[in-house]
Amino acid sequence: MALKMLEREERTLLTGAEAAAHAMRQLRPAVVPVYPITPQTPIIETFAQFVADGLVDTEIINVESEHSAMSAAVGASCAGARVLTATSSQGLALMLEICYIASAMRCPIGMAVGSRALSGPINIHCDHSDSMMARDAGWIQIFCENAQEAYDLSVVGQRLAEDGRVLLPVMTIQDGFTITHSAEPVALLPDDAVAEFVGEYQALYPLLDTDHPTTQGPFALPDYYFEIKRQQVDAMANVGGVWSELQEEFAKLSGRYYRGVFEAYKLDDADYVYVILGATAGTAKVAIDRLRRQRKRVGLLKLWLFRPFPAREIAQALQGRKAVAILDRALSLGSWGPLYSEISAALNAISARPVLYNYIYGLGGRDIRPEQLMSIVNDLECEANADVQRFIGLRE
Amino acid sequence: MLKRYQELPIGGVVVGGATPQLVKTGSWRSGQKPVYDQQRCIHCLLCWVHCPEATILIERGQMRGFDYEHCKGCGLCAEHCPTGAIQMLKETGGS
């Protein structure tokens, strides 16, 4: 049934930014406080056009900075509104102080991130240093491979954020330019189907409910701070289960099933596994297809959820493999790449631990090609020294 | 009795109104406290509007003094008083 629907379905040529803006329109936010920044700008430009055309009834607040955007988002969310926004790079850095407050105050704000390198040196192109900087801020982080995922996971992500078992803000991350500015055929759901799927947001303690007064964001001294942080730990722990539940429901609606918390591509019999976030997973699929034609048993594990980090599921998937190449599009200077560190910790739970390799690639928008990804398997096969960080596409 | 994390409303929300009354913020006051001159007070209640801790005591719409158990000594009342009836005076021990 779902497959038949898919065959008849119309697709629209959209950039990732436009796809995210359509999701925002269909999610019908009451308030969108936002500040433009490359490469996020086409998201809010497209959305602002929808508002100007009367297609969605939203109050856009043109603020003076991203710090103000996130502050206004927290205020509006506490008041009881569904709030969405968008940012990139330096904008996320400027928001970050308030991002921690948004999650601690349990505001399910939805934010589209067009991932871009952090300065310096100043650069406008894609890497994941902005999203990785925000990884401890208490937000759900969903990485998207393409425009279709940016649309679908914005819709599912918002309902996930607002679920009573979760109530956390969510970042839906698409690679800057590579996805935000590239047009692809995207299947959109009907407006009313999305409206029905996400429902209305009902805040637990809406500030505007003056019959039930509350104090929000109070000072929490050593006697309470720890307990309030522990509540966030529980909320994060609930995300995986709610995600799976919602994806099943979304699959019935859309015919697109995001099964599990990561995509397993040719993984079943793979001795060698690549782990990747975002758009480069598409390039890796091409590389893996070519390697498979050379009878190399290579597969891909592409994470959708980075926060919460699905450690148990990843450990199960990687148990018994010969070697795993973990590709980080960000540095954690003075240590391993962020994704590598997470996976290394996750594998403590298993005995048949594969050899892990850490590759840094694509910083500041440096291109990455299938041949480069294909050559990684040579390191894995010849059991090269795994005790060093390697750099792909760097002049050295 | 301090509550366990499972028993607290999420997000640090404090449910119910007038909860500042439960915290004796007067103990934070250091140095200066407000006093007022009844002769100069015109009962405009701007002090009541600006006080962040609701420490201005009102009876039948008239200013009647300060609740020093909750007054933090911030001086906003004196700053906003249009007739200079409220002064911040140096405090010497006790409250």
Q: Per-residue pLDDT averaged across A283-305, rounded?
A: 98
Q: Average pLDDT, stretch A167-185? A: 98
Interface of B with A (CB under 8 A): 2-5, 8-19
Option in A106, A212, A213 nearest B11 (CB): A106
pLDDT on residue B30: 85
Q: Which of B5, B10, B12 sits opposite A218 (nearest CB)?
A: B12
Chain A nearest C-alpha distance from B22 (Å): 13
Tell me the domains of chain A and their CATH numbers: 11-198+222-254 (3.40.50.970), 262-392 (3.40.50.920)
pLDDT band at A1, cuts 50/70/90? Answer: very low
Q: Which long-range contacts (CB under 8 A, 24 or more apart) does A243-250 make?
A: A243/A156, A243/A160, A243/A305, A246/A156, A246/A159, A246/A160, A246/A163, A247/A156, A249/A197, A250/A152, A250/A155, A250/A156, A250/A197
Q: In this predicted complex, what is the ipTM? A: 0.87
In 3D space, the residue among A362, A360, A365 whose CA is nearest the CA of residue A126 turns out to be A365
Contact A214 B3 (CB under 8 A): no
DSSP-derived letter for residue A328 is: E
A339 and A328 Cβ atoms separated by less than 8 Å: yes
Beta bridge partners of B88: B34
Task: Give me the mean pLDDT over the A204-229 stretch.
Answer: 95
Q: Do the Cβ atoms of A223 and B2 come within 8 Å?
A: yes
List the domain boundaries for chain B: 16-90
Q: pLDDT class for A8, splitting at 50, 70, 90?
A: low
- Determine whether the interchain pair B13/A231 forms a contact, defined as Cβ–Cβ distance below 8 Å: no
Q: A-side interface with B, Cβ within 8 Å?
A: 104-106, 167, 204-205, 212-218, 220, 223-224, 226-228, 230-231, 234-235
A16 burial (CB, 10 Å; 0-12 / 13-18 / 19+) is buried
Judge: B2–A212 Cβ closer than 8 Å, yes or no. no
Backbone torsions φ then ψ of A223, nearest 5 degrees: -80, -15
Query: pLDDT for B34-73, tens place per residue?
Result: 999 999 999 999 999 999 988 999 999 999 999 999 999 9
Q: Is the pLDDT of residue B1 over 90?
A: no
Query: What digits encode the pLDDT tens for the residues B43-54?
Result: 999 999 999 988
Question: Contact B10/A223, CB-based, under 8 Å?
Answer: no
Q: What is the nearest CA distance from A340 to chain B, expressed in angstroms?
A: 31
Distance, CA of A161 to CA of A111 (rounded, Å): 11
Q: How far is A317 from chain B (nearest CA, A)?
A: 33
Tens digits of residue pLDDT in A256-285? 999 999 999 999 999 999 999 999 999 999
Using alpha carbons, select from A140, A167, A158 the residue that is nearest to residue A30. A158
Instruction: With CB atoms and an 8 Å threshold, state whether B13 touches A205.
Output: yes
CATH class of B16-90: alpha beta
Reported as a pLDDT band with limits 50, 70 and 90, residue B94 is: low
pLDDT for A88-147, tens place per residue? 999 999 999 999 999 999 999 999 999 999 999 999 999 999 999 999 999 999 999 999
Structure pTM?
0.92
Which pLDDT tens digit goes with each residue over A185-200?
999 999 999 999 999 9
Instruction: Return the bridge partners of A131, or none.
Output: none
Spatial distance between the Cα atoms of A80 and A97, rounded to a whole number of angstroms: 22
- Confidence band (pLDDT; 50, 70, 90) for B92? confident
Residue A150's contacts (CB-CB under 8 Å, 6 or more residues apart) are A16, A19, A20, A23, A112, A144, A172, A174, A179
The residue type at A72: A
Subunit contact A224:B2, Cβ cutoff 8 A: yes
By CB neighbour count within 10 A (0-12 exposed, 13-18 middle, 19+ buried), where does A166 fall?
buried
